[in-house]
Structure 1
């Protein structure tokens, strides 16, 4: 028996509670129906903060020699009983045999009772019906990262500074705590110190810095030309990528 934390979807939003439901059936099919692509939010990453609902869009592309008739609501699920169900998908023809079925669900950290352990890899279950009666039921038809939103700050000092002198860059990395609905320090993570010349458009990485146990960052570099300093976090399966706003330093 799989324990899931969802009861219903009302108006596109989740209504969550602890509930035991029977485990889903194994994959099943009839005929030649196939799923060729599953896309969640365009890039396979869903980031949830502490104060705003997020609409998660799921698109499943399927094919059958008779064409696609429709799809059932998609189930999304992940660690620690994380679970959501989309609304009824709308299927749009790509050609005579292939359609892309799209649906969405709103997830609100204020009402959906997410646990921090629910962050990580989530999966999409999909049921597709073809025009000739064929069908496909596919567990784990696709996957995506369900992440706690990250925040990052950076401050470079002194400002201004003489060329060749030392610049100290400090900051802090934090991530959403879905259980307290606050952001807390994200410690012991590797973060890149990056620099962009005032006249340039792209940042380059100067070094990698590790946050302390509370998420605080501190490092030094040598002043050379006017430009912006920032920290950048690549993210991981449970926390979103983020870059701090650049802090301009005037070099004299």
Structure 2
């Protein structure tokens, strides 16, 4: 068997959360893969405290000798290269003709099974296509970001309120704990208090507040007009962004 390997470099995990961009197609000799779609094209995967998320992939592959097996995997490594998690599975392929096959693949990311909090972060996606004569391997093909779901609550009081009088806005920010399968305080993170004036569709950041050790949020602002208040968290490498429900305040 002739083995040819094509390697795609993974992008670094920078502060801007840059995720590796996959190639449009790959080829070695007559063997090539193309039309690859991983997770519907979304490079961000959010997993709650208890519910599994199904990750899917589709691709096409062709070779003069026909396609044998297609293997797709996801791996999560620690800071020193140690293996944290691995999900590997053969894709289900259908031959359209003697040379070309289309393939489908899916695996569950289940916080009640193998996932722990250290599973949050960048995962590498591997694709291998095998024929009788060739092996095309992308290790990694691309990267995706798997993050813990955030939940936020809000309460603005008093309601109604006199114009320009102070209102107190409170709330909490929590995130999924995949080890305990519940939501726990997300402490010491910056959360934006945003306001949308009645009759408009634009949210404006009024203040940025840091959460307490229990995930509590609290601040005081003047009530200048009717409108809706919400807390918004921008997310991190391990925790997904989220916005609370809005709380309308009637100003009189």
- Aligned counterpart, 1:84: 87
For the residues of structure 2 that align with 1:212 and 1:68, how far apart are their CA atoms? Answer: 59
For structure 2, the residue ranges without an aligned partner over 5 or more in a row are 7-27, 79-83
Cα deviation, 1:58-83, whole Å, max 9, x if unaligned, reads: 34x56768698475231101135112
- Aligned counterpart, 2:146: 146
- Aligned counterpart, 1:45: 44
Cα distance change of structure 1 residues 240 and 31 upon mapping to structure 2, 3 Å threshold: same
For structure 1, the residue ranges without an aligned partner over 5 or more in a row are 1-25
- Aligned counterpart, 2:110: 108
- Aligned counterpart, 2:158: 158
- The residue matched to 1:125 in structure 2 has which SS? strand
For the residues of structure 1 that align with 2:73 and 2:33, how far apart are their CA atoms? Answer: 15
TM-superposed CA distance for 1:233, in Å, is: 0.9
CA contact (8 A) 2:161 2:250 kept: yes
- Aligned counterpart, 1:222: 222
Mapping of residues 121-132 of structure 1, within 5 Å:
121-129=122-130
For the residues of structure 1 that align with 2:236 and 2:103, how far apart are their CA atoms? Answer: 28
For the residues of structure 1 that align with 2:162 and 2:66, how far apart are their CA atoms? Answer: 67
CA contact (8 A) 2:32 2:63 kept: no
- The residue matched to 1:117 in structure 2 has which SS? helix
What is the RMSD of the two structures over their aligned residues, measured on CA atoms? 2.9
Runs of 4+ in 1 over 4 A off after TM superposition: 32-38, 61-68, 89-93, 97-101
- Aligned counterpart, 2:119: 118
- Structure 1, 71-80 or 154-163: larger mean CA deviation: 71-80
TM-superposed CA distance for 1:251, in Å, is: 0.5
Q: How many residues align?
A: 221
CA contact (8 A) 2:195 2:205 kept: yes
Cα deviation, 1:152-185, whole Å, max 9, x if unaligned, reads: 1111111111111112111111111111111100
TM-superposed CA distance for 1:88, in Å, is: 1.6
For the residues of structure 2 that align with 1:155 and 1:207, how far apart are their CA atoms? Answer: 15
Cα deviation, 1:208-231, whole Å, max 9, x if unaligned, reads: 221122221112221111111001
Cα distance change of structure 1 residues 222 and 27 upon mapping to structure 2, 3 Å threshold: farther
In the superposition, the TM-score normalised over structure 2's length comes to 0.76
For the residues of structure 2 that align with 1:100 and 1:35, how far apart are their CA atoms? Answer: 10
Cα distance change of structure 1 residues 65 and 79 upon mapping to structure 2, 3 Å threshold: closer
Cα distance change of structure 1 residues 77 and 161 upon mapping to structure 2, 3 Å threshold: same
Cα distance change of structure 1 residues 105 and 63 upon mapping to structure 2, 3 Å threshold: closer
TM-superposed CA distance for 1:237, in Å, is: 1.8
**Residue 205 (structure 2) pairs with residue 168 (structure 1):** no
